[in-house]
Chain A
Amino acid sequence: MINWGNFISQCFNGLVLGALLALISSGLTIIYGTLGVLNLAHGAMFMLGGYAGWVAYTYSGSFIVGVAAGSLFVMLVGIVVERLIIRNFYGRPHEDQLLVTFGLGIVFVEAVRFFFGSLSKMTPPPSSLVGIMNLGFMFYPTYRIALLGIVAVALIALFVVLYRTRIGMIVRAGIEDAVMVDSLGIDVYKIFMLVFGIGAMAAGFAGIVNAPVVAIAPDVGEGILVQTFVVVVIGGVGSFPGAVLGGLIAGEIISITSMFDPAYSYVMLFAAMVIVLVVRPYGLLGTKGRE
């Protein structure tokens, strides 16, 4: 299937695929960059956003309400989890943090399975975004094109919060040196709670906007988690622009490789990660010395 038409189609598809990966990864990288916590429950939070949004959509019939509910619910979950659990693990070894977030992820997944079962649930897109659009070089689902715009707006919003507000400045300062920020009299714990909430919200938002593309199920976050880790490693741990760049690169690698041999799509993604780790261990836009 190697021809120019298909190549252009796959490039475009890679852009859409990458945008979503960028959004999910940005939440993961913000949390890790600021708090130093590798949140293995991030995939489960992506799933929670999908389910919370689906429930809200089912009762309200509005996709917008579903998106708002999914995002805010997971933000709330993130804040509560940070306050009650994660906060007790900041000073503990990374292994403990991995275990507790891994455990949290299992609890979230099994709780959802208990209440909603294993059958997948579909959230339809808004009626205005149903259908297929002729892009000239290919037909493409209208909602997926809209998703590109939705994700772009969300990423810009995150960028503005992180780079154009006082809170964002504190967060970025916290990424560089949390002790220094604390010594300046700023309550870093409040900031940490907020950061965890924002990171979780990014995952939850991605979960519900992705729900019309990929029907949700309790395990939907598992595969996503692995991919987002790869994206963060490629882009640079703790770097928001790195997450965006890494996401787009990952999307293009997966998509374009499938044109040559679909069985090697993910092999090539991991190969790219290995190359980045060898050539630039701190990631493409990461800072040397940052964990």
Chain B
Amino acid sequence: MSREKDSGVSRRTLLKAGAGLAGGTVLPMTFPAFSFAADEPPIGTWPEGSKGSSVTVSIAVPRTGTYASAGEDELKGWQLAVEHMNSGHPLMKKFSPKTTKGVLGKEVKIVVADSGAKPNTAVQAHQRAITENKAVLLTGSTSSAVAVATNKLAQREHVLYVSGISGSNDTTGKDCVRYGFRQNYYGQTAAAAIGPVLLKKFGKNRKAAFMTPDYTYGHTVTKSSGDYLKEHGGWTVVTDQVSPLGTQDFSQYLTNIANSGAEFLLNVNWGRDAVLSTQQAKQFGIIPKMTLVIPYQTPFLAKEAGAELTAGVYAATDFWWTLDDKYPLAKMFVEAFVKKYGYHPEWGAENAYVSFAHWSHMVHEAGTFYPPAVIKTYEKGETIPSLVGDVHYRPQDHQCVRPVVIVRGKAPKAMKNKEDFWEVLEVVPGAPLMQKPDAFGCHLGDYT
């Protein structure tokens, strides 16, 4: 009987065990995606969606209808981000330093559907992408109604969703989900940022009329803005004209406003509704008789309505391209965007690009596409870059804590080029603008 046999362990077995142990120690560092296999049972489109050499992102964005122009701008932002991810562009590396080419070495592909800003259409498109393409990420909205509906889908299907433009408090408030994240500003932070500017400029005890689109975005932005001005400045909301999304003739609403005695018109309408209602307010003589304020800026408003109309108008926004003189990343982004698309990006494109870059960062940090791991990486609240300085995501409601930009419309003669519509007055830090995480009733739900 040999000694080996006595011990019960052969030399070959010992070598195998040693190699196995060494492999077990090294592999988690090299291929972390496989290291938690036992703890990471299949969920959503994982691991099917990331098994191959590429991963798919589903984009449902309005390319027709009231929000089409903003939707096209957003789409360009996502397309640029994907191009930068796949090529390992220096700007993407600023957000996601571990990016080489693709995300975790996998090429990112997109499937794009026209949502028309309709929740049902968007959800059907995403569902198709989940089933047919095993999409690992959903994005798009440009309407909070779509964002809320996609939130629910993401939670049900266990697929991550980073919203496109969504201004409703509800998106990361009462309709928040574990699988949903929002980068951009929203009703509460817009109101808290522009409110002090209005009170400082125009004083207390003034009368305001609101124009509100009849869905979650409109109602929450109007409420946040109205509440702020009432509580802090004693302003009175003399009328709130609620109109359906896609209204073309606002004359009946403007007639009420003209007879309301208001001094300020706070137009919460968005997309083409904002353009039409603003133009028609001018036709009715309401502007400049009343001072126009845009609590939640819509991309291309000044371009479509005309700089004469937006001159002197105060607005809150996520980004304006002239911030490129203050923020190096903004400069890189604006240059890359202008080079590719031939115009200066609006904030839809900025939000799209940054939200994708943040996702890339989180996946690389997690080292896996496994959704709960990526979610937990977001929830660490790590400080990460944006185009307007450092930001972080709140673990309690998945809202990005980020600055709000206050702008004022330039008069045509003050414009340095044909897209120089707004002057940046202030970049208001995000943290003081935020409500308490549970103030809007957010309960995130489960990871699995």
- A contacts, CB < 8 Å to B: 1, 3, 5-6, 9-10, 13-14, 16-17, 109, 113, 117-120, 122, 132, 138-141, 143-144, 213-215, 217-220, 222-224, 254-255, 258-259, 262-263, 265-266
B194 within 8 A of A: no
> Which of chain B's residues have a CB closer than 8 A to the CB of A218?
64, 68
Are A219 and B242 in contact (CB-based, < 8 A)? no
> Which of chain A's residues have a CB closer than 8 A to the CB of B72?
118
For B257, give the chain A residue with the smallest CB separation: A1
> Which of chain A's residues have a CB closer than 8 A to the CB of B214?
263
> Which of chain B's residues have a CB closer than 8 A to the CB of A266?
244
Are A144 and B251 in contact (CB-based, < 8 A)? yes
From known contacts A118-B63, A119-B304, A213-B283, infer whether A262 and B249 are also in contact, taking CB-CB under 8 Å: no
From known contacts A219-B65, A263-B214, infer whether A6 and B256 are also in contact, taking CB-CB under 8 Å: yes
> Which of chain B's residues have a CB closer than 8 A to the CB of A223?
246-248
Are B249 and A215 in contact (CB-based, < 8 A)? no
| Bound-state Cα–Cα, A290 to B259, Å | 44
12 new A-B pairs (CB below 8 Å) besides A122-B306, A217-B272? A9-B255, A117-B69, A118-B63, A120-B69, A132-B284, A139-B285, A140-B284, A141-B284, A215-B279, A219-B68, A258-B256, A263-B242
For B242, give the chain A residue with the smallest CB separation: A263
| 22 A–B pairs (Cβ distance < 8 Å), ordered by A | A1-B256, A6-B255, A9-B255, A118-B63, A119-B300, A119-B304, A120-B69, A132-B283, A138-B259, A139-B284, A140-B284, A214-B249, A215-B276, A215-B304, A217-B68, A219-B66, A222-B65, A223-B247, A258-B241, A258-B252, A259-B256, A262-B256
For B250, give the chain A residue with the smallest CB separation: A214
Interface residues on chain B, size class: 35 or more
Q: Which of A117, A120, A139 meets B272, CB within 8 Å?
A: A120
Closest Cβ–Cβ distance, residue A17 to chain B (whole Å): 6
Are B283 and A144 in contact (CB-based, < 8 A)? yes
Q: Which of A5, A13, A213 meets B252, CB within 8 Å?
A: A13
> Which of chain A's residues have a CB closer than 8 A to the CB of B285?
132, 139, 141
For A133, give the chain B residue with the smallest CB separation: B285
| Bound-state Cα–Cα, A132 to B259, Å | 15
Are A215 and B259 in contact (CB-based, < 8 A)? no
Closest Cβ–Cβ distance, residue A146 to chain B (whole Å): 12
Are B275 and A120 in contact (CB-based, < 8 A)? yes
For A219, give the chain B residue with the smallest CB separation: B65
> Which of chain A's residues have a CB closer than 8 A to the CB of B304?
119-120, 122, 215
| Bound-state Cα–Cα, A215 to B276, Å | 7
> Which of chain B's residues have a CB closer than 8 A to the CB of A217?
68, 272
> Which of chain A's residues have a CB closer than 8 A to the CB of B247?
223
| Bound-state Cα–Cα, A113 to B284, Å | 29
| Bound-state Cα–Cα, A224 to B248, Å | 9
> Which of chain B's residues have a CB closer than 8 A to the CB of A13?
251-252, 255
| Bound-state Cα–Cα, A120 to B272, Å | 7
Q: How many A-B residue pairs have CB under 8 A?
A: 110
Closest Cβ–Cβ distance, residue A264 to chain B (whole Å): 9
For A9, give the chain B residue with the smallest CB separation: B255
Closest Cβ–Cβ distance, residue A145 to chain B (whole Å): 11
| Bound-state Cα–Cα, A140 to B72, Å | 35
> Which of chain B's residues have a CB closer than 8 A to the CB of A132?
283-285
> Which of chain B's residues have a CB closer than 8 A to the CB of A143?
283
B253 within 8 A of A: yes
Closest Cβ–Cβ distance, residue A178 to chain B (whole Å): 35
Closest Cβ–Cβ distance, residue A16 to chain B (whole Å): 7
B260 within 8 A of A: yes
Are B300 and A220 in contact (CB-based, < 8 A)? no
| Bound-state Cα–Cα, A109 to B214, Å | 26
What 3 pairs across the A-B complex have the smallest Cβ distances?
Answer: A118-B68, A258-B252, A132-B285
| Bound-state Cα–Cα, A100 to B239, Å | 44
From known contacts A16-B251, A262-B242, infer whether A120 and B64 are also in contact, taking CB-CB under 8 Å: no
B280 within 8 A of A: yes
Closest Cβ–Cβ distance, residue A259 to chain B (whole Å): 6
Are B64 and A219 in contact (CB-based, < 8 A)? yes
Q: Which of A6, A118, A222, A262 meets B259, CB within 8 Å?
A: A6
B113 within 8 A of A: no
Are A138 and B68 in contact (CB-based, < 8 A)? no
Are A258 and B253 in contact (CB-based, < 8 A)? yes
Q: Which of A1, A5, A117, A263 meets B239, CB within 8 Å?
A: A1
B303 within 8 A of A: yes
> Which of chain A's residues have a CB closer than 8 A to the CB of B280?
213-214
> Which of chain A's residues have a CB closer than 8 A to the CB of B251?
13, 16-17, 144, 255
> Which of chain B's residues have a CB closer than 8 A to the CB of A14?
252
Are A119 and B258 in contact (CB-based, < 8 A)? no
B79 within 8 A of A: no
Closest Cβ–Cβ distance, residue A220 to chain B (whole Å): 6
B216 within 8 A of A: no
From known contacts A10-B252, A17-B251, infer whether A141 and B66 are also in contact, taking CB-CB under 8 Å: no
Q: Which of B68, B242, B259 meets A1, CB within 8 Å?
A: B259
Which has the most chain B C-beta neighbours within 10 Å: A6, A13, A14, A218? A13
